[in-house]
């Protein structure tokens, strides 16, 4: 296990830091859950909806036509068989009688998690953690003062129900006061992990005491993956000593505003990561935006004029050196879609290489006269890798002509997705794919709105098995995944994996093979070589080479 140290920051509270150089792919934490539940696919949860379809022991879904066994007492959770039942009983024993007490209501996942944690801690069982007690749990991050008035009402209602449930357990006479339960619910909300299946889809909610110390960043240095219930946190990059070890609590492919709202509602804090800095907090960002945001998201101009003047030409050269587009290497994976002449290999004109003259002027006016302005700008641009992601998601472009085209495409995709396979016929599938590829070519590949549209259309193409159309769309999602989630992230690896599978279904064996190798390389580092996805990648590579 890599060397780490826990430190306390007056503003952010506890955090975990690298105590030494830590190479990427190193394991930081690995743990079994102290408490966990299956998450429902319907809201509000009904007993039939989830617990009966998914095993609470192995988290796998029941094979169609097969019924799972129910817990004989509460009848609210299900298992594949006796082995899974005994696995699940380790946590279910702390809630079974509590669930019976509120029958036929079906408590939410976070309420169940709260009941499991509190009743277990009340008997002094800290699980595998030597330091977990009710007191140390109550000292975790998640302060009820951070709740809005509206949230307070909801949390109060849930903690009232929690009290009723806990009173029905064997430790009912020691049940904490409702205010304590409300605070405990905040701890659950802030410290629970979303447990994901082997294809990285959320299936459960778990509390892992040893991982609770990891703070959030929208540009995380680590990532958590799961093998069944076991959580493992690995580093995404080579880290220097004193780097904070962070994970992302959310889907980072969202706008700054979307992320801010989510973190405030769910975790009661304002994110201060480099991606979330506002212009007021960091005036230098205004310049970085001028250099990078506008080329990324501003109006698309087919021709550029190279800037002139001393400062500007040195800026120009500097940027040519430092702000090379990260997704160049992906452009070698060329693929021509069915006869529409689309070619994957287009030059990146959005970042660094070609700067819009007006943006350079703006930067000069702002910084040219200022003492030390240029060196600060240089320093900041050196972190351009960070800003490739930052600039893409901080703000949305508006007022572009092409924006209208995206809106039209969004409507067409939404209409086609509502229909069944026959409602959107082959011709329509080809037409939408063609227009999507055409419109997409004039935007930066990581542009969020287009990214979501492509994702939505790709899912539809896969569901109707239109692999010839899915292949070029899948390939265009790769730069976006890479820019939004990071070149070492599991989600980028999974997308490479998926794209390789689609290409393989189209008979593009050698391209599929090359992409699957890259998928394996990414997944091996961030998920570990023994992860189920790596096994699948190895199998598919074997098939591709045999076929």
The piece of 45-53, 242-250, 274-282, 291-299 that touches Zn ion (CB under 5 A) is 274-282
User: Which one among 22, 28, 84, 223 touches Zn ion, defined by CB under 5 A?
Assistant: 84
Residue 22 as a binder of Zn ion (CB under 5 A): the answer is no
User: Which one among 58, 69, 514, 541 touches Zn ion, defined by CB under 5 A?
Assistant: 58
The piece of 203-211, 300-308, 323-331, 459-467 that touches Zn ion (CB under 5 A) is 323-331
248 touches 526 (CB < 8 A): no
437 touches 340 (CB < 8 A): yes
User: Which one among 47, 50, 80, 515 touches Zn ion, defined by CB under 5 A?
Assistant: 80
Q: How many whole angstroms separate alpha carbon 412 and alpha carbon 470?
A: 16
Residue 537 as a binder of Zn ion (CB under 5 A): the answer is no
CB of 461 to Zn ion, least distance (A): 25
Residue 206 as a binder of Zn ion (CB under 5 A): the answer is no
CB of 350 to Zn ion, least distance (A): 5
Which parts of 354-393 interact with Zn ion (CB under 5 A)?
A: none
80 vs 363, which CB is nearer to Zn ion? 80
Residue 91 as a binder of Zn ion (CB under 5 A): the answer is no
Q: How many whole angstroms separate alpha carbon 424 and alpha carbon 460?
A: 10
Give how far Cα 193 sits from Cα of 212, 223, 300, 467, Å. Answer: 9, 12, 41, 35
The piece of 38-46, 191-199, 329-337, 346-354 that touches Zn ion (CB under 5 A) is 346-354
Question: What is the 3-class SS of 104-123, one letter each residue?
Answer: CCCCCHHHHHHHHHHHHHHC
The piece of 194-202, 268-276, 303-311, 520-528 that touches Zn ion (CB under 5 A) is 268-276
502 touches 462 (CB < 8 A): yes
Q: Which residues of 344-360 are buried (b: 16+ CB within 10 A; e: fewer)?
A: beeebbbbbbbbbbebb
Token pair 């669930």 in the structure block, residue: 99
Residue 275 as a binder of Zn ion (CB under 5 A): the answer is yes
CB of 42 to Zn ion, least distance (A): 20
User: Which one among 218, 222, 319, 424 touches Zn ion, defined by CB under 5 A?
Assistant: 218
Residue 466 as a binder of Zn ion (CB under 5 A): the answer is no
Residue 295 as a binder of Zn ion (CB under 5 A): the answer is no
Residue 7 as a binder of Zn ion (CB under 5 A): the answer is no
Residue 273 as a binder of Zn ion (CB under 5 A): the answer is yes
User: Which one among 140, 348, 409, 474 touches Zn ion, defined by CB under 5 A?
Assistant: 348
Residue 96 as a binder of Zn ion (CB under 5 A): the answer is yes
What is the helix (H) or strand (E) element at residue 37, kind and residue range?
A: strand 35-38
Q: What residues form DSSP beta bridges with 231?
A: 31, 226
Long-range contacts of 96-104 (CB under 8 A, 24+ apart): 96/71, 97/73, 97/168, 97/169, 97/170, 98/165, 98/166, 98/168, 98/169, 99/74, 99/165, 100/73, 100/74, 100/168, 101/164, 101/165, 101/167, 101/168, 102/161, 102/164, 102/165, 103/74, 103/76, 104/47
Q: How many whole angstroms separate alpha carbon 403 and alpha carbon 196?
A: 34
CB of 443 to Zn ion, least distance (A): 10
189 vs 248, which CB is nearer to Zn ion? 248
271 vs 473, which CB is nearer to Zn ion? 271
Contact positions vs Zn ion (CB under 5 A): 55, 57-58, 71, 73-74, 80, 84, 96, 218, 271, 273, 275-276, 325, 348, 350-351
């Amino acid at each position: 296990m890599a060397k780490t140290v826990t430190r306390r920051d007056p503003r952010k509270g506890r955090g975990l830091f690298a105590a030494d150089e830590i190479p990427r792919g190193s394991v930081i934490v690995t743990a079994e859950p102290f408490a966990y539940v299956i998450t429902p696919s319907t809201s509000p949860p009904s007993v039939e909806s989830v617990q009966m379809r998914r095993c609470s022991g192995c988290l796998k879904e029941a094979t169609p036509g097969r019924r799972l066994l129910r817990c004989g007492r509460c009848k609210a959770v299900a298992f594949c068989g006796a082995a899974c039942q005994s696995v699940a009983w380790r946590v279910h024993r702390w809630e079974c009688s509590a669930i019976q007490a509120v029958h036929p209501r079906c408590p939410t996942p976070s309420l169940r998690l709260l009941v499991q944690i509190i009743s277990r801690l009340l008997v002094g069982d800290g699980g595998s953690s030597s330091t977990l007690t009710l007191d140390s749990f109550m000292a975790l991050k998640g302060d009820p003062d951070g709740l809005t008035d509206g949230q307070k009402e909801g949390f109060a209602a849930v903690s009232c129900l929690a009290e009723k449930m806990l009173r029905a357990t064997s430790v009912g006479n020691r049940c904490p006061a409702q205010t304590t339960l409300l605070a405990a619910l905040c701890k659950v909300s802030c410290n629970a992990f979303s447990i994901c299946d082997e294809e990285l889809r959320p299936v459960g909610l778990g509390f892992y005491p040893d991982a609770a110390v990891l703070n959030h960043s929208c540009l995380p240095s680590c990532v958590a993956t799961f093998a069944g219930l076991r959580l493992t946190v690995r580093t995404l990059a080579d880290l220097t000593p004193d780097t904070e070890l962070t994970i992302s609590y959310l889907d980072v492919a969202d706008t700054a505003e979307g992320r801010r709202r989510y973190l405030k509602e769910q975790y009661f804090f304002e994110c201060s990561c480099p991606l979330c800095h506002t212009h007021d907090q960091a005036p230098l960002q205004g310049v970085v935006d001028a250099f990078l945001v506008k080329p990324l998201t501003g109006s698309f101009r087919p021709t550029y004029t190279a800037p002139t003047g001393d400062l500007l030409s040195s800026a120009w050269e500097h940027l040519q050196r430092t702000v090379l587009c990260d997704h160049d290497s992906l452009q070698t994976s060329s693929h021509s879609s069915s006869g529409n002449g689309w070619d994957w290999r287009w030059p990146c004109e959005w970042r660094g290489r070609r700067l819009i003259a007006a943006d350079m002027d703006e930067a000069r006016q702002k910084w040219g006269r200022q003492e030390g302005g240029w060196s600060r700008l240089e320093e900041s641009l050196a972190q351009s890798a960070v800003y490739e992601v930052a600039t893409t998601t901080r703000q949305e472009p508006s007022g572009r002509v092409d924006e209208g085209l995206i809106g039209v495409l969004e409507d067409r995709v939404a209409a086609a997705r509502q229909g069944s396979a026959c409602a959107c016929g082959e011709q329509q599938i080809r037409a939408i794919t063609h227009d999507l590829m055409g419109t997409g070519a004039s935007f930066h590949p990581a542009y969020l709105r287009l990214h979501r549209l492509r994702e939505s259309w790709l899912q539809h193409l896969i569901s109707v098995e239109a692999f010839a159309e899915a292949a070029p769309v899948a390939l265009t999602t790769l730069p976006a995944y890479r820019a939004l989630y990071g070149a070492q992230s599991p989600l980028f690896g999974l997308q490479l994996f998926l794209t390789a599978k689609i290409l393989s279904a189209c008979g593009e064996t050698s391209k599929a093979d090359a992409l699957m190798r890259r998928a394996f390389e990414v997944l091996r580092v961030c998920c570990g070589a023994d992860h189920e996805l790596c096994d699948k990648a190895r199998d598919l590579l074997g098939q591709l080479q045999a076929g």
